[in-house]
Amino acid sequence: MSEDFKLNAQARDVQGKGASRRLRRLENKVPAIVYGGKKKPANITVAHNELIKHLENEAFYSHIIELDIDGKTENVILKDLQRHPAKALVMHADFLRVSKTKKFKTTVPLHFINEDICEAVKLQGCTVAHSMTELEITCLPANLPEFIEVDFANAEAGTVIHISDLTLPKGVESVALNHGADHDLTVAIVNKPKGAAAEESEEEGGEEAAE
């Protein structure tokens, strides 16, 4: 993890939709909750402008955050976010407490690299279809990656990349693969051009007829 994120928060006693609306409208604050671990869930507020600034950084979504609640800090990750359907406003945020010594489950974004230099795309007219944009993983906080790369440098026409083909950082496991090989989902496919696929089908048909 290449960056440290810190977020200031205040405990929130008053609850309810009316109180949340007043927080957002009059104080420019976002109602939020912190849960997990051995402590009880805690209602908090965070400054809207501060949170929005952090959200502009992709790493914030898959990074340990040092949450300062009235002077007391906790390590958390952003677990859920509710945005306004029409305005650039955050309506609510959920933070999950994490322990340095316990593995936890979260999702990290996939970064698709070297598509521009992939010979199947450049020379053969193939197209790449992404079936997933993020991966659910489990790891210790110290091993949490900001993203996982999907490399197309050596991909050929017709290549199907599965979760098991990804190179995961040390200490990081795929939640899906932990459930067995039948959960080895497709991440991306290098699709052959339509014309090429039709030609191959015709050739196969001709070979079967000759036999």
On the CB side of 16, how many CA atoms lie within 13 Å of its CA? 4
* Residues 84 and 109 grouped into a single domain: no
**Strand 104-113's sheet: what is its strand order?**
148-151, 104-113, 134-139, 173-174
pLDDT score, position 25: 62
**Residue 196 scores a pLDDT above 90:** no
For residues 97 and 32, the answer to whether their CB atoms sit within 8 Å is: no
For residues 175 and 147, the answer to whether their CB atoms sit within 8 Å is: no
Of the residues 97, 120, 144, the one at which a domain ends: 97
pLDDT score, position 11: 92
Q: Which residue has the higher pLDDT, 146 or 18?
A: 146
pLDDT score, position 13: 75
* Residues 34 and 127 grouped into a single domain: no
User: What average pLDDT score do residues 12-17 get?
Assistant: 68
User: What average pLDDT score do residues 41-49 get?
Assistant: 93
| CATH code (residue 204) | 2.170.120.20
pLDDT score, position 1: 45
Of the residues 45, 63, 97, the one at which a domain ends: 97
* Residues 161 and 117 grouped into a single domain: yes
- Output the furthest CA–CA distance in the chain (Å, rounded): 80
Which residues, including other chains, have CB under 8 Å from residue 7's CB and lie 6 or more apart?
A: 46, 50, 51, 54, 65, 66, 67, 68
DSSP strand pairing (127-130 vs 186-191): antiparallel
Residue 153, exposed/middle/buried by CB under 10 A (0-12, 13-18, 19+)?
Answer: exposed
* Residues 72 and 143 grouped into a single domain: no
Residue 54 main-chain phi, psi, to 5 deg = -65, -40
For residues 64 and 2, the answer to whether their CB atoms sit within 8 Å is: no
pLDDT score, position 200: 54
Least confident of 2-16, 41-55, 189-203: 189-203
User: What average pLDDT score do residues 117-122 get?
Assistant: 92
| CATH code (residue 40) | 2.40.240.10
pLDDT tens-digit series, residues 126-184: 999 999 999 999 999 999 999 999 999 999 999 999 999 999 999 999 999 999 888 99
Q: What is the SS3 assignment for 26? A: helix
Of the residues 69, 97, 125, the one at which a domain ends: 97
Residue 22 binned pLDDT confidence (cut-offs 50, 70, 90): low
pLDDT tens-digit series, residues 50-89: 999 999 999 999 899 999 999 999 999 999 999 989 888 8
* Residues 70 and 36 grouped into a single domain: yes
pLDDT tens-digit series, residues 85-102: 988 889 899 999 999 899
**Residue 198 scores a pLDDT above 50:** no
* Residues 112 and 201 grouped into a single domain: yes
* Residues 72 and 32 grouped into a single domain: yes
* Residues 117 and 205 grouped into a single domain: yes
pLDDT score, position 36: 92
Number of structural domains (the chain) is 2
Query: pTM of the entire structure?
Result: 0.77
* Residues 90 and 116 grouped into a single domain: no
The whole domain housing 189 covers 104-210
